Chains A and B, each alone.
Chain A
């Protein structure tokens, strides 16, 4: 009996954790199941009959595929711009001392702490007051704005954790500044930049609230789902949802496996390092 209670005391936290993970995955399972569903009526959200039609013909409702494509375009443009601007800012913040640094940090932090609702409505107020027509480009502008802070924070973390001595070593070995940047700094920061870009894309692709206020008549994928929720959701929406989940999960798992392999080879390559370090 006491052994049972000791086992319980040891493992109940893990048990609760697994239950919570189940809660997190329940809707995903439902989305995946519904992607194989032939709904009984337009407004029905219940499972009716198994079919592969939705997967065979994901663009049966062409509006939806247009919306997905538009979201991807916006996501791409916003990601490129936000990643470029954010990476430059991260370099300046980590590598340079300058005036107005704390003010800038606040400016970067605030968009992450402001409700999307407030950012969306305030941008709308600006665009309307300035007479800017709402549409594709106002969405891109808004997305670059709210992705920027996340890019800065992500790249900054990577840069701050970087070993400056590697760059100094390159300079010691007569590499020019540009060569050092190109061959040492950039490859080391790249994982951070890639992570920031992926984060920016997923934030942009999935954004609803800010887009809703600044889209005019342009329809992105979340906007399409929102509109369809009133008229009846085509089951293909669940196909897109499932596919997005699967692609992203595969990407993450692949990078995890690669990272593990790279770490292993890095450890074997780094074995003689302690001797070299002690010589200095």
Chain B
């Protein structure tokens, strides 16, 4: 019965007339399915990048009202970089510091949920994502309350003399780095969890049976096996953190501004499109460079 039933849908049968008609239809089907989405991505993701690149080479003398001329003004790049080097390097510095903090917090969290939580696993996982249910900006503003000068945290730190009597948290680099760590931590934890969850507990037992210390077990077994998740997680954390400027704006001062603040004001306040585009393109190239070096060092291209 099942052999007969397979005939209409069959694949092993020699091609009969109705089947060639069907396969001809099927040859175009994937392109039809892909067309609208791929066109959208090309038109509103890829083409704009080309537009951004050309905008970065506009004549810097032009303006929005008089129009810009594409003069291949490569000089826009060194000029912009020279002017905004502090903000540019600060973006990578803050994002890097936040990444280190996030790894220190996120790894134990992901490990505990994956290996130690038992039946609470799903609930704890929801807890990792749940803070993102509230608006990003509202959460960041809540940090403003927590870190404020007359808040309990600053009071406590002053009492134990970790902070001078006039010491502040808000409007310092600490506040910005803390905010970045906080806002992007779930992006680090989720892929890391996915890797650690697949880790076979018996391998850890085997390591300790063979007299490996807990530290050695971690270094030689757990860490290498969690590498794919670690790489994906660090990228998912680092890329948006470098491009973020909400934390610097709300929790810092102009002294903590990152490159995003500069780009935002170039496009929306100063209306200097060539410079904004050049900085934007530089940011993307720098992030891509960091990512590629990192992937090479980490020895895997699976993530792409």
Contacts and interface: CB of A to CB of B under 8 A. Distances in A.
B210 interface: no
Given A117-B263, A213-B268, A229-B141, A21 B127 contact: yes
Given A107-B42, A121-B52, A123-B48, A13 B112 contact: yes
Interface in A81-136: 85-86, 88-89, 91-93, 95-98, 104, 106-111, 113-119, 121-126, 128-129
A222 B250 CA distance: 13
A196 interface: no
B263 A121 contact: yes
Contacts of B113: 17
Contact of B284 (A47, A111, A118, A280): A118
Interface string A188-231: 00000000000000100110110011000000011001100100
A129 B51 contact: yes
A4 interface: no
B237 to A, nearest CB: 12
B220 interface: no
Given A24-B185, A30-B146, A241-B134, A129 B122 contact: no
A152 B37 CA distance: 9
A31 B134 contact: yes
Contacts of A253: 126
A46 interface: yes
A25 B29 contact: no
Nearest to A19: B105
Contacts of A172: 2, 5-6
B171 to A, nearest CB: 13
Interface string B154-198: 000000000000000000000000000010011000000000000
Interface in A245-271: 245, 247-249, 252-253, 256
B12 interface: no
A162 B49 CA distance: 36
B127 A13 contact: no
A99 to B, nearest CB: 9
Given A111-B41, A226-B137, A122 B48 contact: yes
B99 interface: no
Contact of B52 (A13, A125, A141, A202): A125
Contacts of A63: none
B280 interface: yes
Contacts of B151: 46
A166 interface: no
A113 to B, nearest CB: 6
B9 to A, nearest CB: 5
A163 to B, nearest CB: 16
Interface residues of B, number: 91
Interface in A148-192: 148-149, 152, 168, 171-174
How many residues of A sit at the interface, in one of the four size bands? 35 or more
A23 interface: yes
A132 B63 CA distance: 17
Interface in B3-30: 5-6, 8-9, 26, 29-30
A156 to B, nearest CB: 12
A27 B143 contact: yes
Contacts of A115: 239-240, 242-243, 283-284, 287
Interface string B113-142: 100110000111011111111111111111
Secondary structure at the A interface, as helix, strand, loop or mixed, is: helix
Interface in A1-48: 9, 13-14, 16-17, 20-21, 23-28, 30-31, 34, 45-47
A24 B105 CA distance: 10
| From A23, A95, A242, residue with most partner B Cβ within 10 Å | A23
A85 B180 CA distance: 32
Interface string B215-249: 00000000000000000000100011011111000
Nearest to B102: A20
Contact of A89 (B38, B123, B140, B142): B38
A114 B5 contact: no
Interface in B38-79: 38, 40-42, 44-49, 51-52, 55, 64
Given A24-B182, A121-B280, A85 B243 contact: no
11 contacts: A27-B146, A28-B142, A30-B146, A46-B148, A92-B31, A106-B304, A107-B41, A144-B44, A240-B135, A249-B130, A252-B129
Interface of A: 9, 13-14, 16-17, 20-21, 23-28, 30-31, 34, 45-47, 85-86, 88-89, 91-93, 95-98, 104, 106-111, 113-119, 121-126, 128-129, 141-142, 144-145, 148-149, 152, 168, 171-174, 202, 205-206, 208-209, 212-213, 221-222, 225-226, 229, 233, 237-238, 240-242, 244-245, 247-249, 252-253, 256, 280
Considering the complex of A and B, which 6 residue pairs feature the smallest CB-CB distances, nearest first?
A115-B243, A17-B112, A27-B142, A122-B48, A96-B30, A248-B133
Interface of B: 2, 5-6, 8-9, 26, 29-31, 33-34, 36-38, 40-42, 44-49, 51-52, 55, 64, 105-106, 108-109, 111-113, 116-117, 122-124, 126-146, 148, 150-151, 182, 185-186, 214, 235, 239-240, 242-246, 250, 260, 263-264, 267-268, 273, 276-277, 280-281, 283-284, 287, 291, 304
